[in-house]
Amino acid sequence: MGIKPKSPREALQPEPAPGPPARSRHVRNPIVILINLTITLAVFALVAIGAALYLGKQEFERPGPLDTEQTVVISSGTGLSGITDRLAAADVIGDSLLDEWVFNLGVRFFKNEAKLKAGEYAFQPGVSMEQVMKDLVEGNAVTHSVTIPEGWTTAQILQRVREHPVLTGEITEVPGEGALLPETYTFTRGATRQKVIDDMAAAQQKLLAEVWSRRVADLPVGTPEDLVILASIVEKETAKADERPRVAGVFVNRLNKNMRLQSDPTILYGLFGGEAWLQDRSGITQSQLREENAYNTYQIDGLPPGPIGNPGKAAMEAVANPSRTRDLFFVADGTGGHIFAETYEQHRQNVRKWRQIERERRADEQQQAN
């Protein structure tokens, strides 16, 4: 077939551009359109979530609005929403709904909503939400304490524990005399009085077992309970730490020689029990000394039937490892300590000195009163 030749004019004209290709049937498919829309929305959502998480993390970690130290009490059984409300009310995490939302979401993000502990918490100025969460998870609550002096009777200890303003509940199980270890015990707000007493009893049992295992041979005490009895007497006889082993040595020597202990504090305990030292007493009278008394070691042989107080660690250690001495007597020296003697004659001289000191003190007191 022949080709029609173009004129020079027609040869100079450009060829027309091809038209657009026909649209694919797949692109016009509604399913494809839905998928494209879903992908687009998912991308935007991921971007939005990422931005929210980033901003939330910044808010969660940055210093908070608190400008002065604030104490917040979280009661036992309080859930995350209740905890959040209390923290917001105290302005620890801020008091806006956004602040509460960030804290709540942050705790849940770290899966700590069930790990927050009750207690009394002291938050420092500028504390971050992240640190608040860590304190609650780790239980870094404010601690309180109760100190029990060595030698106190169980009645004295119970009175102090009952009077403590932070402890809660009643003491339902009262331990026997000598069953508690005098020490300083720490606890958080909400702790019960019975729990503190139980801790004292457990600490005493543990320590007594350790001390008993380290005792020297041939002690005139046959059981750990006897050791506590003698240690309670040593505790009441001297408050000076360096004297306890020597006082224990005197009593051990007297027991080995079948001599009566003749300890004044045992008289008071036998007469008044654990209440003996809840009030000041001027001294022991001759009538009290002669009064029938199961604890009176001027009247009975050997140890009394039970402790006269709760001895501390030093007193129990002193009985388990007493001083190697031949002393059989001691009397106060007027300075808070004692003078020791091996013979009764030496002891009588020391007693005369002590009585002279007492007379001089009474004379000075009367002169000052006049």
Token pair for 142:
């404010």
Considering the domain boundaries, does residue 9 fall inside one? no
User: pLDDT tens digits for 200-255?
Assistant: 999 999 999 999 999 999 999 999 999 999 999 999 999 899 999 999 999 999 99
User: pLDDT tens digits for 88-143?
Assistant: 999 999 988 999 999 999 999 999 999 999 999 999 999 999 999 999 999 999 99
Q: Do both 219 and 309 map to the same domain? A: yes
Q: Report angle CA 168, 171, 175 to the nearest 5 degrees.
A: 140
Burial of 95 from C-beta contacts in 10 A (0-12 / 13-18 / 19+)? middle
Give the H or E element holding residue 121.
Answer: strand 119-123
Of the residues 89, 113, 138, the one at which a domain ends: 138
Burial of 81 from C-beta contacts in 10 A (0-12 / 13-18 / 19+)? exposed
Q: Report angle CA 224, 226, 232 to the nearest 5 degrees.
A: 105
Considering the domain boundaries, does residue 273 fall inside one? yes
Separation between Cα atoms, residue 25 and residue 48, nearest integer Å: 34
Residues with Cβ within 8 Å of 133's Cβ and at least 6 positions away in sequence, in order, are: 103, 106, 107, 110, 112, 116
Q: What is the DSSP string of 256-278?
A: HTT-----HHHHHHHHHGGGTTS
Considering the domain boundaries, does residue 99 fall inside one? yes
Q: State the distance between the two ends of the chain, measured CA to CA, in whole angstroms.
A: 157
Token pair for 212:
């008993």
Q: Do both 221 and 320 map to the same domain? A: yes
Considering the domain boundaries, does residue 229 fall inside one? yes
Token pair for 75:
């009661």
> Of 106, 94, 96, 104, which Cα lies nearest the Cα of 61?
106
Most confident segment among 7-11, 16-20, 365-369: 365-369
Q: Do both 134 and 222 map to the same domain? A: no
Of the residues 138, 158, 178, the one at which a domain ends: 138
Q: What are phi and psi of 331, to 5 degrees?
A: -145, 155
Token pair for 133:
């969460």
pLDDT given at position 56: 63
User: pLDDT tens digits for 34-73?
Assistant: 776 677 776 766 665 665 566 768 888 899 999 999 999 9
Q: Do both 131 and 216 map to the same domain? A: no
Q: Report angle CA 235, 362, 261 to the nearest 5 degrees.
A: 30
Separation between Cα atoms, residue 261 and residue 299, nearest integer Å: 9
Considering the domain boundaries, does residue 302 fall inside one? yes
State how many domains the chain has.
2
Of the residues 138, 153, 186, the one at which a domain ends: 138
**249 within 8 A of 325, measured Cβ to Cβ:** yes
Give the H or E element holding residue 70.
Answer: strand 70-74
Considering the domain boundaries, does residue 156 fall inside one? no
Q: Do both 134 and 213 map to the same domain? A: no
pLDDT given at position 228: 98
Q: Do both 219 and 128 map to the same domain? A: no
Q: Do both 128 and 214 map to the same domain? A: no
Separation between Cα atoms, residue 224 and residue 226, nearest integer Å: 5
Token pair for 334:
């007027």
Sign of the C-alpha dihedral, residues 49, 52, 57, 58?
positive
> Of 76, 99, 77, 98, which Cα lies nearest the Cα of 87?
99
Considering the domain boundaries, does residue 266 fall inside one? yes
Which domain CATH number covers 126?
3.30.1490.480
Considering the domain boundaries, does residue 24 fall inside one? no
Range of the domain at 127: 70-138
Q: Do both 211 and 294 map to the same domain? A: yes
